[in-house]
Amino acid sequence: MGGFSLTPDQASTVAGRVDTLFYALVGLSLLFALPIAILIVYFAIKYRRGSSADRTGAHRASIKLELAWTIIPAFLALGVFGWAASLFFTIERPPAGATEVYVVGKQWMWKFQHLEGQREINELHVPIDRPIKLVMASEDVIHSFYVPAFRVKQDVLPGRYTTLWFQATKTGEYHLFCAEYCGGDHAAMGGTVFVMDQADYARWLAGGVAGAPAQAPTSLAASGGQLFVSLGCSGCHRMDGSGVGPSLAGVFGKPVPLEGGGTVVADEQYVRDSILLPQKQIVARRQPVMPSFQGRVSEDQLLQLIAYIKSLGDQPAQAAPSAQPTP
């Protein structure tokens, strides 16, 4: 973690770029603020009451001066805007193939679900040099996921999915905070991100290192498939498209035609709304017969269902898993 420093470790691919922009903004602010402050003090002393300073100087307009102090700051501001916008788009656009981890914030803890099925509370294990995409939602109030060493922060909202990505560049342990006041124990809502060598991370996933699950858990998609059957979804959403509802094979990430015209991309938010608010967006040529599952599925189960629908890919003949027998 290093010794004393005025700033946290730079432990992600964007951390150095964020710091450079920050220092540039501080430098530009000082470039304008210091001369103005010095001149204010100088003129206050020179032209103080009772001083013999000459106050009869001619007042002449200077077009060159007017243009200079208008155009130069304008170009500086536009340059900083373009620089910051470029960095913003980099931070907001996860690279293709990023490893997904689902996150649920609640008073007052962070819950993580890996696609392989591992679950963690207030701890997140990730491999070094691999982009990680977090898909996040809140069970209650607004939270904010913040890892200072990675220079990334994103609000986590109830009823809506937000995403955040990072790629760690140093192994170690890094503090995780909630940066949005969320209630009485807000200050205790924190955790640790463990950045591991890729080989160590693979062993952690397999349960071969301390702190790993005792046995390989059921994958998130498999858990979602079992839930899909137990909730009765497989009876309407048949893979061959013969059910009352549309087939969900190959739907995720694709445009979905809506009743009344228009389309919507089947992303995480669309799947969530379709489960909890089925009348919000009716699929074209389908009857609005799907019931709401509001209050019947938790945030964790919603993420499992989303992972399952994502896993269906483009294989319409794929069958849903069988329901587990009830003891």
Whether 124 and 79 share a structural domain: yes
Share of the chain above pLDDT 90, in %: 66
What CATH code is carried by the domain that includes residue 299?
1.10.760.10
Please give the backbone phi and psi of residue 125, each rounded to the nearest 5 degrees, phi first.
-100, 130
CATH of the domain at 156: 2.60.40.420
| Total of domains in the chain | 2
How far apart are alpha carbons 262 and 287 in whole angstroms?
A: 17
Same domain, residue pair 207 and 78: yes
Q: What is the pTM of this model?
A: 0.82
Q: pLDDT at residue 223 above 60?
A: yes
Please tell me whether residues 238 and 212 are part of one structural domain.
Answer: no
Alpha carbon distances (Å) from 172 to 2, 9, 194, 198, 240: 10, 10, 6, 13, 48
Name the least confident of 30-44, 59-73, 79-93, 212-226: 212-226
* pLDDT number for residue 325: 37
pLDDT value of residue 242: 80
Report residue 323: phi and psi, to 5°: -70, 145
Is the domain of 213 the same as that of 237? Answer: no
**Average pLDDT of every residue of the chain:** 88
pLDDT reported for residue 207 = 77
The model's confidence at residue 316, banded by pLDDT at 50, 70 and 90, is very low
| Domain extent at residue 271 | 220-311
What is the spatial distance between Cα 310 and Cα 250, in angstroms, rounded to a whole number?
Answer: 8
- Any domain includes 239: yes
Flag whether 198 is in a domain: yes
Predicted pLDDT of residue 302: 93
Is 50 inside any structural domain? Answer: no
Instruction: Tell me, yes or no, whether 70 and 148 share the same domain.
Output: yes
Question: Is residue 272 in a domain?
Answer: yes
Task: Write out the DSSP string of 138-181.
Answer: ESSS-EEEEEGGGTEEEEE-BTS-EEEEE-B-S-EEEEEEE-S-
Task: List, for residues 19-49, the tens digit of each pLDDT value.
Answer: 999 999 999 999 999 999 999 999 999 889 8
What does the pLDDT read at residue 327? 33
